[in-house]
Amino acid sequence: MSNFPKKTLEFIQRYLLRQQREVEENLKNVIEDDPAKSPALAESSEPGTDSYMAEIHSKSIVFGKKLTDAKVSIQIALQKIKKGTYGKCEHCGKQIEVGRLLAMPTAQHCVACSKKNFGK
Ligand SMILES: [Zn+2]
């Protein structure tokens, strides 16, 4: 069990659950708004709108992928909270700085490791 302050952990958990709902809602909207998924729209499209549709479609895919990635990291973080391993660096096993987690609750590495491994 990490020495994470319980109050802070509860705060982060609530935040993550809210984020999870938002991401799921956005993901649904992105899929629904994608013109490629809507046959009615595709049929009624006039000449010249195809490239516009294709652009929106490719943007939906990129945005959808970002949202899916976010959803996965949120799920991982929530699972860790449940297991009591939240806040531990995946690389060195040290406690991740609380400030870092508050700024980025889905962070899986401490500042030192993320600098070393990801050049951030
Ligand atoms: Zn580390």
Higher pLDDT, 31 or 17: 17
Average pLDDT estimate for 19-47: 80
Q: Is residue 115 part of a domain?
A: no
Higher pLDDT, 114 or 48: 114
Q: Is residue 101 part of a domain?
A: no
Q: Is residue 118 part of a domain?
A: no
- If pLDDT is split at 50, 70 and 90, which confidence band does 45 have? low
Q: Is residue 61 part of a domain?
A: yes
63-102, pLDDT tens digit by residue?
999 999 999 999 999 999 999 999 999 999 999 999 999 9
Q: Is residue 116 part of a domain?
A: no
Residue 61 CA, ligand 1 centroid: distance in Å = 33
Q: Give the sign of the dihedral formed by CA 78, CA 81, CA 108, CA 100.
A: positive
Count up the domains in the chain and report the number: 1
Q: Is residue 99 part of a domain?
A: no
Q: Is residue 81 part of a domain?
A: yes
Residue 58 CA, ligand 1 centroid: distance in Å = 36
1 has a pLDDT exceeding 80: no
Long-range contacts of 24-28 (CB under 8 A, 24+ apart): 24/71, 26/67, 27/64, 27/67, 27/68, 27/71
